[in-house]
Structure 1
């Protein structure tokens, strides 16, 4: 599914997330989690809310132009099967159709925190660090 640029079913993803969070809490006692790349669509969001019963404190959105993302993916040279132009274009299409509405949803709830990710990694890291420091 990943190689085809498609999204893994929500039930599987949410159960894996809940299991990982529960195990982490048992080990560390930490009840704060940063979940990368989730939710990606409306179904993800609804299943997460119903199964995990967790409302996020905020949703972090790394905003970056498509051309810059494509350049970065193609130059990361990690040998991933899904790092090719066809799959990248499919991912962008899925993002626009499925994930952007979720971004709008959290923005309407006042929960969206947007970071300009077109900057250098150092600048992005600093913006994220400042954001997390102000949210705690």
Structure 2
């Protein structure tokens, strides 16, 4: 018969856990990267539910800041309207604030860093290096099929837009993945498989973060 107890606060697997200081707060950060349609959003929800992480989307934080009507939000909105790229430092500050305010100490950062400049700025500003990068690897053909299946709009326009997004991902985000791969910090997931099978692979990676462990006692 097993007794359910809280899992240890610190997980010892060095390839999985890298605790860092954020102000006076220790946090564990996992970057989640994958092309549009790779299914990372669905799997982030599963990780939050099963492993107690907080999901931070850089895009959601920027949109929330704009919606707040703050001076910073107005600046972000104007930059986007003018077709300018929001500076890395602006996004990083929002991520920092979200991590400090949240009581949790485990974070999935989704869709960031988008490029090498983002990556270098994040590490320089926060002094945080991710525990690892969770990379949802999926063919462009499969991602295109999924994205078109979601959308009921004009197919030709959508294909053109989707393929531009793929091009940006390959040119901008793959160098980030290659950088961390050279440091043996990339956990690659075959995201072309059905959702339940993908999550089985995700669970194997996040097992050290399970909320509870079972201690079996001899009878």
TM interval, shorter chain, is 0.7 to 0.9
Name the CA shift for 1:119/1:50 in 2 (closer, same or farther; >3 Å).
same
Q: Deviations over 1:69-99 (max 9, x none)?
A: 11111112387xxx92222111111111111
1:115 aligns with: 189
Relative contact order higher in (CA < 8 Å, ≥ 6 apart): 2
1:33 aligns with: 107
- In the superposition, the TM-score normalised over structure 2's length comes to 0.53
1:92 aligns with: 166
2:122 aligns with: 48
- In the superposition, the TM-score normalised over structure 1's length comes to 0.82
In 1, Cα distance between equivalents of 2:85 and 2:195:
27
2:139 aligns with: 65
In 2, Cα distance between equivalents of 1:95 and 1:89:
10
* Structure 1: tracts of 5 or more residues without a match: none
Could you say what secondary structure the match of 2:107 adopts? coil
TM-align CA RMSD:
2.4
Q: How many residues matched?
A: 127
Q: Deviations over 1:22-74 (max 9, x none)?
A: 111xxx2x211111112110011011011111010100000000010111111
* Structure 2: tracts of 5 or more residues without a match: 1-79, 211-219
1:19 aligns with: 97
Give the drift of 1:107.
0.4
Larger Rg: 2
Q: Which runs of 4+ in 1 moved over 2 A?
A: 6-9
